[in-house]
Chains A and B, each alone.
Chain A
């Protein structure tokens, strides 16, 4: 592996871990409101898959999407400011943690309705296909989303019209607090794609290198005009579903087993052992991330609140086309 890529993986996974830790602290201090869904444990999925993608590809994500936005290149300060509900946030403070947007980075939102992303991603894919563009839409979703009707409706249309969508399942085993064997008759998510003739595979979502390679192959398949692909990443979240959930429905043993396979620690050890990185790189990344995250929190805290309640409800002015009737 190239040193540059290894450095990026470690940098982004460290950023992801530390950013979310800081968000949790700010939430407990009352600086972040509402629901806050954090990503620790799942870092390898967003980091690897988004590094495998091109900057010109589109991203549609869920309500657990801070890290997708960060890896995509949205400034940590703009994401933290959004969590704080500030005017400098990437959605101007109107969206919050679950609704990050950045059109410039082709980041078309976090959605808090489970399963809503499938059709939106397919729609962006329709635009790409209609214009004969070779970009791909990466559509993130959890294992809980595959029991929504929209999963089946959208996969059917995506396959029917050969839309360039890479469906990335972040299978963290739990839909909120219900374990996958209790919510899915077919718990292997990737197998469901076969109902629509969509190629798919399952990959170890705790292994950033494996996810990267699997995503590259999947993107190649989609870019070649073969239609959509479904990549299931088996991963795990260390925290509860949101800050409001302790995650007490899981055993300490299960959590310990998964923590032993931590994607961040695992990759750091491997990168050092393989000689992709040296110890000084890790130290440099750690101190750089400490600074970036602290700056993001300071920026968010110092930023002004949004003031215009009705500004962006409509884009058009009142007298649209032809004046008054």
Chain B
């Protein structure tokens, strides 16, 4: 086992998959000579050359489209979009092309791309660099959406995503790139589907994904000090969604909270709670709680940014509310 930072885990997955299959390539802005804004492809340009590690112009819609076209012919592109905000420029080709080509060709043509992008608020990046948008991709039929919670998942899921023949949206988080975790030295894969109960508990289920999962874990520690046993579920894959694991956990704990960093409307939390109401309404002992961002564009001022985005204390307070303690 070695301790890797999240970015190092992503870099390792790139390296292993580029070495494994000559059809794998990586493309994006500043990923080659510079090695990527978050270093996720550092050193790979020197190792694999400019044909397979492609520095693209700032043309998100078309370089993503080029990746999609290349994948239809036989390549397996890992497309980095520097910030999920910029992915809005590529939504046409991701939603209208990648998500639909396999289906509208009756299964005759596939688009095995991975689109990697950091989504989330970091430190005062302001409104146009702080989007989350997981809900946008989650609501698009034909895409897979995965959200690795740490280095272990990031490396194993990215390798699976590269080998998957469906288009995969791989959502990272700016604040997670330097988080470290033990990762096996030998090659391994992590599945692209299925939620995971990472911490077992009996009194309440806390549900999150990537950053918001980490908030749930911290809140579970706080609740434990109050004598409350929280179960924590990492959704891992937002699409397809693992309804079964969610149902099993809620039927055990009878109380549930969903945490997300995005705004609430038509979001991950509203979807998960709808699923719970459909699948196990009568298992609930109290109303579900959503923890989410304030309904504002993310402000620049540090204090306001902090106020806009949920943290572990918000999750803790929300859990107490679900438990009827406040």
Contact = CB atoms under 8 A, between A and B. Distances in A.
Report whether chain A binds chain B. yes
Interface of A: 58, 60, 89-96, 99, 101-103, 108-109, 111, 113, 116, 118-128, 130, 149-150, 153-154, 156-157, 160, 306, 311-316, 318-325
A127 B75 contact: yes
A93 B107 CA distance: 11
Contacts of B36: none
A179 B170 CA distance: 43
A124 B70 contact: yes
Given A103-B109, A113-B96, A315-B166, 10 more contacts: A91-B104, A91-B106, A109-B105, A123-B69, A150-B92, A157-B56, A157-B57, A313-B141, A314-B166, A321-B189
Given A150-B65, A318-B193, A92 B107 contact: yes
A132 B56 CA distance: 20
Can you list the 10 inter-chain pairs with the closest CB atoms, starting with the nearest? A123-B69, A92-B106, A119-B65, A312-B107, A153-B62, A153-B59, A101-B105, A120-B69, A127-B73, A123-B70
A94 B103 contact: yes
A218 to B, nearest CB: 20
B118 to A, nearest CB: 22
Interface string B53-69: 00011010111111111
Given A111-B97, A322-B156, A91 B105 contact: yes
Interface stretch (B157-165, B202-210, B214-222, B246-254): B157-165
Interface of B: 25, 51-52, 56-57, 59, 61-75, 92-93, 96-97, 101-110, 141-142, 144, 156, 159-160, 163-166, 188-196, 236, 240
Contacts of A116: 65, 92-93, 96-97
Contact of A157 (B62, B110, B190): B62
Contacts of A325: 190-191, 194-196, 236
A154 B70 CA distance: 13
B75 A89 contact: no
B191 A58 contact: no
B109 to A, nearest CB: 5
Nearest to A89: B106
A124 B106 contact: no
B57 A156 contact: yes
A89 B104 CA distance: 11
A312 B102 contact: yes
Contacts of A130: 25, 51-52, 75
Contacts of A313: 102-103, 141-142
A103 B190 CA distance: 31
A311 B108 CA distance: 12
Contact of B105 (A99, A124, A316, A322): A99
A99 B189 CA distance: 35
Contacts of A90: 106, 108
Contacts of A314: 102, 142, 144, 166, 240
B102 A123 contact: no
8 contacts: A101-B101, A102-B108, A109-B101, A119-B61, A123-B67, A157-B56, A321-B163, A325-B191
Contact of B65 (A108, A120, A315, A322): A120
A95 B109 CA distance: 12
A287 B70 CA distance: 42
Contact of A153 (B57, B107, B160): B57
A122 B62 contact: yes
Nearest to A93: B106
A312 B106 contact: yes
Nearest to A323: B191
Contact of B72 (A123, A149, A150, A160): A123
Contacts of B74: 127
Nearest to A156: B57
Contacts of B105: 91-92, 94-95, 99, 101, 103, 109, 312
Contacts of B189: 321-322
A230 to B, nearest CB: 16
Contacts of A103: 105, 108-109
